[in-house]
Amino acid sequence: MYEDSDERKLRKKGQTEMKHSILSLYLNPWIKKISMVDSNLLFVDGFAGPGRYPDGSQGSPLIAMDMADKMLSTANGIDERLDSFKCIFIEKDPENFEKLKQSVQEKEQVVDDRIDPICRPGKFEDWAVDFTEQYEYGVPPPSLVFIDPFGYGNIPFSLITELFQLRDQSLELLITFMAGKMAQWMEDSGHQKAISEALGSTEWQQRVPPDLGKDERAERFSSIYQEQLKDKADAKFTMPFEMVEESKRQTCYYLIHVTNHWQGLKVMKETMFNAGADDEFAYLGPDHTGYEDDQLSFAEFGETNDFEERVEAFARSLYSTYKGDEIVFQDLLEETLDQNVFKLMHYRSAFQILEAEGKLEVEHRPHKPNGNKSRGYGRDDILKFVNMSLSNFT
């Protein structure tokens, strides 16, 4: 096992580049949207590292500072709305921490003065305990917390729960969940307690049999973790993205986005979709292994060669799920948006397919804020999924 400051451990890999790309792409709309809610925002990097990789490329702390600076200098309205963008960068390895301080100080000289970075030595879990105690009787600023450890130990699920529940909305988590390591070490008695603490449950011992393949075990661990986030931490939406180890083509970890607002989920989905798949990551929805419910799911982001067929299959799945029902488009989104890879435009394409087949009727509600007058699909419009088997007898 390499030390945290060992260059072999710090070497930047393709999956890390993709993870940083996702972070950068998401910070842009997150700052834009959340600055409408509050003028003071917080970004936390719980495992900040040295700030730069051995090849000189920027790590997540500098990426976050650059994106905030870009938004403050170019985005319309944000310059007037945002008073401060506070950053807390946490690093436990002493050698990495000294490098982090230097790289952040250098970056601080060239970015907007409202970007306020604080480098904190020590463990993420110690900061999280202090933070939850600080706001036990108050509300923290809107926050995006990036939790990106090398392993899964020392971050008990109970702490994740306390942290996420500090705000009803506008506190989001982006978690590197090391499901591949769990799958690798689950039969080792020395690791089982740490796995149970990270998941907040021992149920995995019944639900993840060792005779499964490693990727399937990893997927089940991810499923259990997301169930826990929803059941115990009261998270409304979770989105998992599988990150693949390039050399072995095996699941390395999942990048899991956690939010209570559908707009946050919508933006993250668009971020992932626009980043492109290239087989580096995939969305794995709730009807993969580990989930018992028959729900909607597709496994790849991006407009692949068979994407039209996938939208048609999505339309059939929607119809199968809601046949005979009426539902407001917004309610349908909140029920299904974290169960597939599709953006709102793809939902509307699926509706067009169903309408052409006589399987969908739309009640427009122009008097509503998001209702359409005579055509299209507004989020306040009512979708009526026609039961074709019954309509034949009327």
- Which is more confident, 20 or 335? 335
Q: What is the pTM of this model?
A: 0.86
Domain limits, CATH 1.10.10, in the chain: 307-391
Residue range 65-105, pLDDT digits in tens: 999 999 998 867 898 999 999 999 999 999 999 999 999 99
Domain limits, CATH 3.40.50, in the chain: 7-283
| Residue 171 Ramachandran class (φ > 0 left, ψ -120 to 50 alpha, else beta) | beta
**Fold adopted by 7-283:** Rossmann fold (3.40.50)
How much is the pLDDT for 280?
Answer: 40
Counting every residue written for the chain, the total comes to: 394
Residue range 366-379, pLDDT digits in tens: 989 888 877 889 99
How much is the pLDDT for 170?
Answer: 92
Residue range 225-241, pLDDT digits in tens: 999 999 999 999 999 88
How much is the pLDDT for 382?
Answer: 96
Q: Does the structure show a pLDDT above 80 at 305?
A: no
Question: Domain 307-391 classified CATH 1.10.10?
Answer: yes
Contacts of 22 (CB under 8 A, 6+ apart): 241, 255, 271, 272, 275
For range 310-329, the mean pLDDT: 96
Contacts of 256 (CB under 8 A, 6+ apart): 173, 174, 175, 177, 222, 225, 226, 229, 238, 239, 240, 241
For range 29-56, the mean pLDDT: 93
Residue range 185-211, pLDDT digits in tens: 999 999 999 999 999 999 999 999 999
For range 130-148, the mean pLDDT: 95
How much is the pLDDT for 17?
Answer: 78
SS3 per-residue string spanning 284-318: CCCCCCCCCCCCCCCCCCCCCCCHHHHHHHHHHHH
